[in-house]
Chain A
Amino acid sequence: MAASGSGRLAWKLWRETRWWLALLVVVPAVGFPLAASIPETSSGWQILRLLVVYPTAYLVPALAGILAARLAQEDWGAGAYTPSHLPLAAPDVLKASFLLPLVVAALLGLWTGWCSLPGAMHHYAGVFAYCCQWSALTTGCFAMGYVVSAASTKHAGAIYPAMAGNIGPAVLLAFRDRLNHGLDMLPSDPGEWLLVAAFVVAPIVATFVWAASRRKQRFWRQWAAFVAGVLALFVCASPAVWVAWAGGFPGAGFPPFLSEDGSLIVSMTGQFSGRAASGTYCQFTDRRTGVSAKALFPLFVQPLGFAGRDSAVIAVRNPGEGRMSIRAWAHADNTVREVVSIPYNARARFALGTDNTYTGGFVAWVNPAGRWLLLRTRPSNGSGVDLWLIDMKRGKAKIVYPNFQTFAASRATWLRNRAILSGAPPQILVDLPGGKAARYRPKWEDIR
């Protein structure tokens, strides 16, 4: 490429953007470690940390998009210098000002993702997926800036990637935090990521349709662009895309799950994922005797609790399935029994309320006798959490309190025929045999 016109153009591009590139390399390398060194002991420090983290994360995708918009304006704009002064064919321009910088943008995205990783990561597959997502965001913003500006020859090209670059880092930084804690992020994060993709893809598609239908009446162009944008949004949010995504990266797994007295532990020992099959190997150890049982489960596994001294209750799901299976894993004879299967909507996670103790989207309580399971999980449709009551003996499941907003771990108090979920709002009283639940609102009286 060195002797060709595109080589000269690439050299020109390098000369013009090298300081920007240096900035984009240095800022993540300095910004994220700097933010990590800021303590979170008070809200003031937390705000300061946010003020450092967010612009650092925002800079790379947004600037990539804005630079791309500028390049497109230069290459294709009416008053462009390049076509009139350099002996360049259109493919050369495309190679030097689009394809080559696209690769650079991808590398910059990988670099930013790597810089933003915290010190200790537990899951290498998740780290790889995370860095790839940063790369995809930065590349997408670059492509969007270039394409939109080239097609519309307006500054709109800089606005859309700035928007997408604004949303993307917020999603990815939240993703990183969950990744760092070893949570089962995959059922949820493709949904979040696809939302970003929708913001990236929809305007590109709409712009192409708008530009391609320039001979049609304005009315039809508007409608065609609108429909194309909606279709792009729909495709981005479709389950098919999510299944392809989930198949591509194995789940990041879950941290070791311990019983209250620390004696029983369920942990993940390995994962595999491919076109033919996928799965997660788990180990159930009784630390008192040192004896372990091992079993293979579907890709997504989340331990929920322990029924008595010998049985673990876990939730499992295959990628892309709309149902989640609750299983009981007996340690003594290493048998797994399916208790019940309940609906599960992986895409609903986006709107979930914050929960510091959220374990992969699940909080569950098993009563001491192992008969009842109360499961708080993401909703099929909504923005809160659903409370399921599961009869472990009869294999029946029912939502008893749908879509409530909560942000902390509750504690279940098991009474004879009732359970009280308390410790975090709202307090809920569950009638176990009746399968009903309501707000628990006792009246307070002062000291007599």
Chain B
Amino acid sequence: MIQRVFWKEWRERRILWLAVIAAAVAPVIFGSGMAFSGDIQAFSPWFMLPAAVAVISGIAMFAKDGDQDGGDFLFSRPVRWQAIVAAKLLTGIAVVIVACALAALAYRVLAPSQYQPFIDQEHLSSGAGFLWWVTLIAFGAGFGSSALAPGKHASGMVFVAFWALTVFTVFLNTAFREEIGWPRQDSADSISAACWFVGGAVAAVFVTRFGLTAGFGYRLKVYALCIGSAFLALAAIEGAYHTMAANNPPPRRLAGLDPDGTLSRDTFLSVSPDGRYGVMSAGPSLVRIEGDRLIAVKRLAKSMDIHPLRFGVTWTADGRAYWPQNQSLIIANPRSGNLVRVGMPAEASWLVPSPDGRYLVYAAGASSDDQRLYFVDLQTARQLKGMVQSKSSAWWVDRDTVGYTDSAGKQARVRLSELNALPAAAPSR
């Protein structure tokens, strides 16, 4: 009889199952989606495609069996509830596995020639594993939402409601943790959010056992009980973990380093042109580079937040590093460990170093055609007196002459030694 239950699941949902497989394989065939080479670990929007179809497949699990007539008919056959659950879950899991394996196979066969040297067993299996994990979670979430109310549409609404509640729970969890003074943990947010769906999946199994033909009120109680238990179990586990972690604090390690002391993937390091010095976000610190070792020269203040999205570090030819931060220009010399701040307007932009790295020109102004150009001597770490009005970005003509467009729209030049004098004549064409 169990074979017939499996056959029933296949017959009722084969279009959806095939859609799951197609959704996993199609992005690979079209050449624009998931890859199984390289070091992609992050989320890809293409995962949404198989995940979305897997959610729909999961939601459809009890679409027919969960109503009064379907349930009565199903249990009028000589079939055990375990067979029904197994047929639904195992078919779904098997389809997801097949989909991921076929996606990996398609990539192995169809990947462009330039990727072939990078495709190996490890990359294929890790890529397929990640795809499997995402799709399986999606299927499980759909399954967990499917047994509360009969019919596809009602189950879809349950899924949407659970999804909304997960988002709400994340915010609530964050606020609660702050209230009781526990540290913020992204994993805890995810787990607390997942309780809705994990509890729902367990409830779906219980409903199959005890209430497939029961009314909505009874099922709601089962769901509430299971989801509540999931949250209680989570709170108990996390409380125990927190107590244990408080009693056994891990050895202190510089944030941004892996356990073996090497730079973690997300640590930012900017290297000097000669490859001998660097500025890194871990610490943050100025470092000397000796082979595969980074030796700290100076630890910077914690407020010195080195991050390329906010402050790009630039190096001069003679080995100074500079970057803008909080209305100042930070000039660092890793050789000596010196660090100097030079005041700079908040709207400063377009920092351009001179060819020899001695000076820096930057623009500040209300709009792109109404700029004031200021000059900084990077060697002495001082802003020069005087500035010029410009209608464009500036450029370096030679080591101490800057070209710009004056307020009349004509090209002009200014020598840094003559900053307080009138600008030099326009260049000859």
Which residues of A are at the interface with B, using a C-beta cutoff of 8 A?
Answer: 191, 222-223, 226, 230, 233, 237, 258, 260-263, 287-291, 343, 345, 347-351, 353, 356, 379-384, 386, 398-399, 401-405, 407-411, 413-415, 418, 420, 422-427, 439-448
Partner of B352, one of A262, A343, A398, A399: A262
The reply to whether A443 and B292 form a contact with Cβ atoms under 8 Å apart is: yes
Write 22 A-B pairs (CB below 8 A) sorted by A numbering.
A226-B15, A262-B395, A347-B30, A349-B32, A351-B32, A351-B45, A351-B46, A381-B28, A381-B35, A382-B33, A382-B38, A384-B35, A384-B38, A403-B35, A403-B38, A403-B115, A408-B309, A422-B278, A423-B308, A426-B39, A440-B263, A443-B260
**Given A287-B395, A347-B31, A424-B308: A403 touches B293 (CB 8 Å cut-off):** no
The reply to whether B19 and A226 form a contact with Cβ atoms under 8 Å apart is: yes
Q: A379-B35, A443-B262 are in contact. List 7 more A-B contacts (CB 8 A).
A: A263-B403, A351-B46, A380-B115, A402-B37, A411-B315, A422-B270, A443-B293
Minimum Cβ distance to chain A for residue B186 (Å): 15
Q: In the assembly, what is the distance between CA of A82 and CA of B403, in Å?
A: 74
The reply to whether A405 and B289 form a contact with Cβ atoms under 8 Å apart is: no
Of the four ranges (under 10, 10 to 19, 20 to 34, 35 or more), the interface on chain B belongs to 35 or more
Q: Give 4 closest A-B pairs by Cβ, nearest first.
A: A403-B38, A382-B35, A262-B395, A383-B44
Binds A, one of B89-97, B176-184, B295-303, B378-386: B295-303
The reply to whether B115 and A399 form a contact with Cβ atoms under 8 Å apart is: yes
Q: In the assembly, what is the distance between CA of A191 and CA of B311, in Å?
A: 32
Q: Is B234 an interface residue (CB 8 A)?
A: no
Partner of A423, one of B45, B313, B393: B313
The reply to whether B294 and A445 form a contact with Cβ atoms under 8 Å apart is: yes
- Contact residues in B for A447 (Cβ distance below 8 Å): 295-299
B221-261 toward A: CB 8 Å interface, digit per residue (1/0)?
00000000000000000000000000000000010011011
The reply to whether A405 and B41 form a contact with Cβ atoms under 8 Å apart is: yes
- Contact residues in B for A410 (Cβ distance below 8 Å): 308
Q: Which of A230, A427, A444 has the most CB of B within 10 A?
A: A444
The reply to whether A413 and B46 form a contact with Cβ atoms under 8 Å apart is: no
Q: Is B266 an interface residue (CB 8 A)?
A: yes
Minimum Cβ distance to chain A for residue B269 (Å): 5
Q: Which of B39, B292, B296 has the most CB of A within 10 A?
A: B39
Q: In the assembly, what is the distance between CA of A440 and CA of B294, in Å?
A: 12
Partner of A258, one of B45, B111, B393: B393
Minimum Cβ distance to chain A for residue B46 (Å): 5
Name which residue of chain A comes closest to B393, CB basis.
Answer: A262
Minimum Cβ distance to chain A for residue B361 (Å): 8
The reply to whether A356 and B30 form a contact with Cβ atoms under 8 Å apart is: no
**Given A261-B352, A262-B352, A425-B266: A404 touches B32 (CB 8 Å cut-off):** no
B1-23 toward A: CB 8 Å interface, digit per residue (1/0)?
00000000000000100110010
Minimum Cβ distance to chain B for residue A384 (Å): 5
Q: In the assembly, what is the distance between CA of A350 and CA of B114, in Å?
A: 20
Q: Is B105 an interface residue (CB 8 A)?
A: no
The reply to whether B39 and A444 form a contact with Cβ atoms under 8 Å apart is: no
Q: In the assembly, what is the distance between CA of A343 and CA of B115, in Å?
A: 11
- Contact residues in A for B309 (Cβ distance below 8 Å): 356, 407-408
Q: Is B213 an interface residue (CB 8 A)?
A: no
Q: In the assembly, what is the distance between CA of A289 and CA of B426, in Å?
A: 10
- Contact residues in A for B77 (Cβ distance below 8 Å): none
Minimum Cβ distance to chain A for residue B312 (Å): 7
The reply to whether B35 and A423 form a contact with Cβ atoms under 8 Å apart is: no
- Contact residues in B for A427 (Cβ distance below 8 Å): 263, 269
**Given A343-B112, A350-B45, A422-B270: A380 touches B31 (CB 8 Å cut-off):** yes
Q: Is B132 an interface residue (CB 8 A)?
A: no
The reply to whether B266 and A263 form a contact with Cβ atoms under 8 Å apart is: no
B331-348 toward A: CB 8 Å interface, digit per residue (1/0)?
000000000000000000
Minimum Cβ distance to chain B for residue A258 (Å): 7
Q: In the assembly, what is the distance between CA of A403 and CA of B295, in Å?
A: 31
Minimum Cβ distance to chain B for residue A192 (Å): 10
Partner of B32, one of A233, A348, A405, A408: A348
The reply to whether B427 and A399 form a contact with Cβ atoms under 8 Å apart is: no
- Contact residues in B for A440 (Cβ distance below 8 Å): 263
Name which residue of chain B comes closest to A345, CB basis.
Answer: B31
The reply to whether A425 and B265 form a contact with Cβ atoms under 8 Å apart is: yes
The reply to whether A382 and B34 form a contact with Cβ atoms under 8 Å apart is: yes
- Contact residues in A for B46 (Cβ distance below 8 Å): 350-351, 383
The reply to whether A445 and B115 form a contact with Cβ atoms under 8 Å apart is: no
Q: In the assembly, what is the distance between CA of A351 and CA of B37, in Å?
A: 15
Q: Which of B280-296 contact A (CB under 8 A)?
A: 280, 282, 287, 289, 291-296
Q: Is B204 an interface residue (CB 8 A)?
A: no
The reply to whether A350 and B32 form a contact with Cβ atoms under 8 Å apart is: yes
The reply to whether A411 and B262 form a contact with Cβ atoms under 8 Å apart is: no
- Contact residues in B for A405 (Cβ distance below 8 Å): 39-42
Minimum Cβ distance to chain B for residue A156 (Å): 10
Q: In the assembly, what is the distance between CA of A5 and CA of B118, in Å?
A: 67
Partner of A444, one of B263, B312, B396: B263
Q: In the assembly, what is the distance between CA of A328 and CA of B352, in Å?
A: 24
Name which residue of chain A comes closest to B354, CB basis.
Answer: A261
**Given A260-B353, A408-B309: A444 touches B268 (CB 8 Å cut-off):** no
**Given A222-B15, A405-B42, A425-B267: A288 touches B262 (CB 8 Å cut-off):** no
Minimum Cβ distance to chain B for residue A203 (Å): 13
- Contact residues in B for A353 (Cβ distance below 8 Å): 42
